[in-house]
Amino acid sequence: MNNSRLLALFCLLTISLIATGCGGGGGDSPESRSYLPLEVGNRWDYRMTLAPDVVPAQAAQNQIFDYHETVIGTANLQGEEYYIIQSVREATQEYPQLVYQQARRETEEAIWARVGDPAYDLPVLMLPPTAGETWQDPEAPEFTIATAAVGDQVTVPAGTYSCVRVEQSWERPIEGSDPVRMLVKQWFARGVGVVKDETYEDDVKTSMIELLTATIN
């Protein structure tokens, strides 16, 4: 797999990872109730596993990366305040470090991602989460997002959480071949954020991200 293909996958995982949230958790502050706690300094540390068919440098085994998300600041974009989240996939012997930034904000109606060129707001999680609710990207209606389940029990190195599962699905065109069916499953814990993320290509799991630790201010 060349670096440009891996970069595209990293950007996809970053967009997916920051986008949504999970149910459960507690506390009285707005951050503790949020599906994506947005405060400067918040940090999430993950283990990223890529399957051999995604990273063939080690064809006999999975490739493991350290992956981090950190809220590094805020920015005013077209009159709205966004939190800037920096994503870092640490380097290995085979692959360089990758750094990517995303803009996010939350309202009573949804968690929004600033996407596209020209940029627009995409609701990546409608609030409050309701199992079975679906919606499309207004600029790419083939891209569907669904609140697939509420109350999924998920165990990762950081612990066990009761989560909302959000699924994103679309078809990725392949020149000279049939399109690849893409599916991203995400589990988020209320007051924590994303705890797990899985990507599937034609029903084959090609990547997984699991929460190791979270620092929420």
- Structural tokens at position 159: 């612990």
Q: What is the DSSP string of 113-176?
A: EEETTTTEEEEEEESS--TT-EEEETTEEEEEEEEEEEEEEEEETTEEEEEEEEEEEEEEEETT
- Model-wide pTM > 0.85: no
Going from the C-alpha of 132 to that of each of 45, 128, 152, 164, 196, the distances in angstroms are: 30, 12, 14, 11, 20
Phi, psi at 31, each rounded to 5°? -65, -40
Q: What confidence score (pLDDT) does residue 146 get?
A: 96
* CATH number of the domain to which 103 belongs: 2.40.360
pLDDT in tens, 144-203: 999 999 999 999 999 999 999 999 999 999 888 899 999 999 998 999 999 999 999 999
* Chain centroid offset of residue 180 CA: 20
What burial letters (b/e) apply to 62-87, b meaning 16+ CB within 10 Å?
A: ebebebbbbbeeeeeeeeeebbbbbb
The number of domains in the chain is 1
Helices (H), 40-111: none
pLDDT in tens, 96-147: 999 999 999 999 999 899 998 889 999 888 999 999 999 999 888 899 999 9
Give the position of tokens 């949020």. 34
The answer to whether the CB of 171 falls within 8 A of the CB of 10 is: no
H helix or E strand, kind and range, residue 33: helix 30-33
What proportion of the chain, given as a percentage, has pLDDT over 70?
81
- Structural tokens at position 149: 């389940």
- Structural tokens at position 93: 């012997």
What proportion of the chain, given as a percentage, has pLDDT over 90?
59
Query: Can you tell me the distance from the alpha carbon of 130 to that of 110, in angstroms, rounded to the nearest whole number?
Result: 12
Domain encompassing residue 94: 3-215
Which residues contact residue 24 at a Cβ distance below 8 angstroms, ignoring those fewer than 6 apart? 161, 162, 163, 189, 190, 191
